[in-house]
Structure 1
Amino acid sequence: MEGFSLLQRSKSCCQTDIEKLLDGEDGSNELIGDFTKPFVLPTVDGKHQDLKYITSETMVAAVSNQFNHLVEQVIVIDCRYPYEFEGGHIKGALNLHQEDQVEDFLLKTPIIPSCQDKRVVIIFHCEFSSERGPRMCRFVRERDRAMNEYPKLHYPELYILKGGYKDFFPHFQSQCEPESYRPMHHEDFKEDLRKFRLKSRTWAGERSKRDMYSRLKKL
């Protein structure tokens, strides 16, 4: 009976710890997407309540390996159009602005940390991180959920860079290459903008058709 009471006490402590994490009582964020642990990066409020935002300062800390005791790899996905990316981007960022590009890179062969104690962290952004970055972040989570039995995920830890490249660049130019900022609505790239927007709309239309056919098959 003594062993049973010890077991009960241990279980109770565990449950209390988890409840504290979920309530944020211990000062940490709530649990990541597969509910196994708290977020490793400090988060801030952002435009979309369902997404996790980090500051430019946290982005610099993350790409400078300041979290490498817990993080094996930080993947920065710049969702801006190629002409924006070529005009200046965060060092080491990947320019993946189409959903199929991101799906090929992340989900065809998922990137798995070498040990359970380490994490793969993904940070999305666009010019302002108001539309393209958040949309891509949600797409990855949606596809990841569809591939796995709930709540398991290949990438449980997704973040958005608050304010996007526009807010990042003025404060951390030395972290960018080239050290410049080309806005989406640049006068010299109107035709490129038109072309990429058309391509995005076409892809979104094809995707909605595929999703509809997929749902019909399940009926």
Structure 2
Amino acid sequence: QNLIGDFSRKYLLPLVSGRHQDLKSISISTMASLLKDEFKHVIDSYTIVDCRYPYEFNGGHIKVSSCSSLFLPLSFSSSIFVFSLSHLNCRSIIIFHCEFSSERGPKLSRLLRKKDRELNEYPKLNYPELYLLEGGYKAFFSTHPDLCEPKGYIPMTDPSHVSELKYFRNKSSS
């Protein structure tokens, strides 16, 4: 039973078994194929939600292609629907990730689904097709640095960003 959140159809992208059994995960190779437009015949648009802190993002992030957009959630709860899928009747997907896709990415994916459920009559959803990038940016960058810009990776716990880490952790817990 691999139906999207509103149960209207199957997930388009190939799924992998991930750490978070309640979420649908894709492999880094599937993400690379998506970025290379290998799914453009079935997917109208996609949004990559990079859930890392700004200093991590600025050190390197997944490139945005012509049919994708990038959303960096600084205060996600207050702007949960700021990024929009311009063609809600078209096949549009959202892919979440953080450094490892173990905490921040899954948390925000679940939050979006929860808010979407609250705003709609079950089973209708504005964003029915959500994915999590298994392994996160670190795994993606280690295999596909050519699909990242700049071609870099800054860990969340990088010693040169201790004050920023403390700031964003405090901000996200408040």
* Mapping for residues 168-187 of structure 1, pairs under 5 Å: 168-187=140-159
1:111 aligns with 2:88: no
Which residue in the other structure is 2:67 paired with? none
**Any unmatched runs of 5+ in structure 2?**
65-69
1:153 aligns with 2:130: no
Equivalent residue pairs, number: 169
Note the alpha carbon deviations across 1:70-104, whole angstroms, 9 max, x for none. Answer: 21111001000000000000012332243236514
8 Å contact from structure 1 (residues 63, 74) kept in 2:
no
TM-score relative to the length of structure 1: 0.74
Which residue in the other structure is 1:80 paired with? 52
Structure with larger RCO (C-alpha < 8 A, sep 6+):
2
Which residue in the other structure is 1:18 paired with? none
TM-score relative to the length of structure 2: 0.92
Query: Which of 105, 113, 133 in structure 1 is aligned with 2:105?
Result: 133
Query: Which of 30, 40, 44 in structure 2 is aligned with 1:58?
Result: 30
Query: Which of 138, 149, 172 in structure 2 is aligned with 1:166?
Result: 138
SS in 1 for 2:48: strand
Paired with 2:44 and 2:71, the residues of 1 have a C-alpha distance of 17
Change (3 A) 1:97 1:48: farther
Paired with 1:57 and 1:64, the residues of 2 have a C-alpha distance of 10
Change (3 A) 1:50 1:171: same
Give, in angstroms, the shift of residue 105 of structure 1.
1.5
Which residue in the other structure is 2:160 paired with? 188
Give, in angstroms, the shift of residue 112 of structure 1.
4.3
Change (3 A) 1:63 1:32: same
**Any unmatched runs of 5+ in structure 1?**
1-21, 23-29, 203-219
Which residue in the other structure is 1:67 paired with? 39
1:89 aligns with 2:66: no
Give, in angstroms, the shift of residue 134 of structure 1.
0.1
Note the alpha carbon deviations across 1:157-176, whole angstroms, 9 max, x for none. Answer: 00000000110101100100
More helix by share: 1
